[in-house]
Structure 1
Amino acid sequence: MNISKAEQRVLHVLAQGGMIRHRRGESGHIVEALCFTRDGHILANTGLPLFNRLRRRGFIASHGGAPYRITQAGLRAVRAQLDNR
């Protein structure tokens, strides 16, 4: 499956225990989505279009209003990378 570098980066962070916190506007639609690493840092260059692509493809999901996490489909789509710490 073709995944862009930005999508790959976000999925890799989520696979390591990160999450995407979202904020809804007055109309109930999501207006902001920030990707947090497991250490609590914000991942740069993750905007609403990237979030919507991941959600539409079924790579991330939220249950009961919780932050978005990676799904089984997302885990299968992510390629292995070395941990660059």
Structure 2
Amino acid sequence: MNISKYEQRVLHALAQGGRIAHEQTRGKVTEILCFTRDGMILSDCDMILFQRLRRRRLIESRGGAPYRISRRGREAVRAQPDNR
């Protein structure tokens, strides 16, 4: 699967234990914030990138919890020593 540099960066942060907090209005996600495992905000994650990851089922949310990397996302992400 072809994954862009920004998608790769977000998936890598999620694979290390990060999460994407979201806000919903009438069942639609209206705002997102991507947190790394250290609690820092990843600015590369925007709504378009979030929708693309969700459409490809690389991230998932269960029971209204924050979005995390899915099994399919873990298989798609390339191993990297850091996010650079």
Confirm or deny a common fold (TM above 0.5): yes
Q: AA paired with 1:66?
A: A
Corresponding residue for residue 9 of structure 1 = 9
Give, in whole Å, the separation in 1 of the partners of 2:30 and 2:12. 23
Q: Give the Cα separation in 1 of the matches to 2:37 and 2:10.
A: 12
Cα RMSD between the aligned structures? Answer: 1.0
Aligned to 1:22: 22
Q: How does 1:68-83 map to 2 (within 5 A)?
A: 68-83=67-82
Amino acid at match of 1:63: R
**SS of structure 2 residue aligned to 1:58:** coil
Count of matched residue positions in the alignment of Structure 1 and Structure 2 = 83
Q: Structure 2: how far apart are the matches of 1:28 and 1:73?
A: 24
Deviations 1:15-72 (A, max 9, x none): 00000000112x3211111110001000012111100000010100000000000011
Contact 2:18/2:68 (8 A) holds in 1: yes
TM-score (norm 2): 0.94
Task: After TM superposition, give the deviation of residue 73 of structure 1 in Å.
Answer: 0.3
4+ long deviations beyond 6 Å: none
Structure 2 counterpart of 1:23, one-letter code: E
Give the distance between the partners of 2:36 and 2:72, measured in 1 at CA. 20
Unaligned 5+ segments in structure 1 are: none
Contact (CA 8 Å) 2:10, 2:44: kept in 1 or not?
no
Q: Which amino acid aligns with 1:77?
A: A
